[in-house]
Amino acid sequence: MLKLKYIVPLLIVISAVVWWLMPHYSDEDKGYYIAMFCTLTHDGRGNAPQDMQQIIEGSNSDYALQKVHFQQGLAEHLQTVWQDLSPQQQQQARQESLSCRRLMSEKLLPGQPVQ
């Protein structure tokens, strides 16, 4: 039987590794992706991750020192949040960009004001 003094540190190490490997997105990244997603949705263009990737990576200048890299996981998470909205909420979001940003921000950035 393994002793408790070996199990507890092992669980702590495993928990730390799992936390470290989980994707962590800043509020700034989330806000940027929400704005991009809602602009595409409001304009009637596709809001798939591939559409977002084309715009985000296509906006990088060849001479830019820091290029913006597309975050596939965050874009897919936005799609999941969009699918979880009711059809009425989706229709409202398509008609008004501010409503879209408000609805998506409530899910991804709770407690933060929408601009």
**114 pLDDT exceeds 80?**
no
Report DSSP letters for 14-80, one per residue.
Answer: HHHHHHHHS----HHHHHHHHHHHHHHHHTTS--SHHHHHHHHHHT--TT-SSPPPP-HHHHHHHHH
Check pLDDT > 70 for residue 18. Answer: yes
- Asked if 92 contacts 29 with a C-beta cutoff of 8 angstroms, the reply is no
- What would the pLDDT profile of 31-90 be if each residue is shown by its tens digit? 888 888 888 887 777 778 888 888 888 877 888 788 888 888 899 999 999 989 899 998
pLDDT at residue 115 above 70? no
pLDDT score for 113: 67
Query: How far, in Å, CA of 70 to CA of 55, rounded?
Result: 9
Q: What is the mean pLDDT of residues 6-22?
A: 85
In angstroms, rounded to a whole number, what is the distance separating the alpha carbons of residues 23 and 30? 12
pLDDT of residue 32: 87
